[in-house]
Structure 1
């Protein structure tokens, strides 16, 4: 399938947008619990946090990216689409997150590709933590 029009417009992935209720609280969660870096914020409406080349765009109730759809349907946190973070030592990280009260959606699941678990940010947006199969237990770079 030829896609010349898309190639002339789409340059890269800018980020993943999450709807949040309290931007400052979300920034604290992503930076303190998951190691993201704060790139930009305009409290209380918006913040951009990043990990490597991936940016999460945290949109609070006052952000333009949070306005209701034309039919009036509100944009809300939660759902099942999620950012997936590759981690080392999943059991160790799970233990650390449980100590600080992070909410888990499920227990660690193991499959042919590796192990994963879903956590929630303070607004219920899912984040998947993934450790590929074959990674040494407790390995850290």
Structure 2
């Protein structure tokens, strides 16, 4: 088990903590660490600790009202086979916010949780070893 100091924590403000728990555990492989719904939940995937804060949570109450809507920030989840993940999630009824985009670093697609917070699924490009320099 990863200790509390080994986690990277991200707080997402959500409208419905139970719906967020179901989404992250049911679709993206997170496990519940703390469930204090309807106010708060703490879900974990690897070393990512995602704090799901409902409207009654202290995390949501301390956030100024003018910045509580989701923006372009997102968590970034690395996957081995992006096409397979897209197919699996579409079969589960998950809708994507973008089409797949491919660049020199890899391929990615965006989806959103029930509150509209963005998640990026990313498959790194295959890296081939560079040829040794010849002198």
Q: Does the 8 Å CA contact 1:22/1:44 hold for their aligned counterparts?
A: yes
Cα distance 1:77–1:38, how it changes in 2: closer, same or farther (>3 A)?
Answer: farther
| Alignment gaps of 5+ in structure 2 | 128-135
TM-score (normalizing by structure 2): 0.84
Alpha-carbon separation, structure 1, partners of 2:67 and 2:19 = 19
Q: CA deviation at 1:30?
A: 0.3
Deviations for 1:20-75, whole angstroms, at most 9, x for unmatched residues? 00001100100010000100011100000011111000000110000154xx6255
Q: Which residue matches 2:114?
A: 122
* Runs of 4+ in structure 1 over 4 Å off: 11-14
Which residue of 1 is the match for residue 21 of structure 2? Answer: 27
Residue pair 1:67, 1:75 contacting (<8 A) in 2 also: no
Q: In angstroms, what is the RMSD of aligned CA positions? A: 1.8
1:32 aligns to what SS in structure 2? Answer: helix
The 8 Å contact of residues 15 and 54 in structure 2, kept in 1 or not, is answered as yes
Please give the residue correspondences for 1:1-141 in structure 2 after superposition, counting only pairs within 5 Å.
14-67=8-61, 69=63, 73=65, 76-134=68-126
Distance 2:41 2:34 in 1: 6
* Change over 3 Å in CA distance of 1:52–1:13 after alignment to 2: closer
TM-score (ref. length: structure 1): 0.81
Determine the C-alpha separation between the residues in 2 that align with 1:84 and 1:68.
25
Partner-residue secondary structure (3-state), 2:84: helix
Would you say how many aligned residue pairs link Structure 1 and Structure 2?
A: 123
Specify every segment of 5 or more residues in structure 1 that has no aligned partner in the other structure, as ranges. Answer: 1-10, 136-141
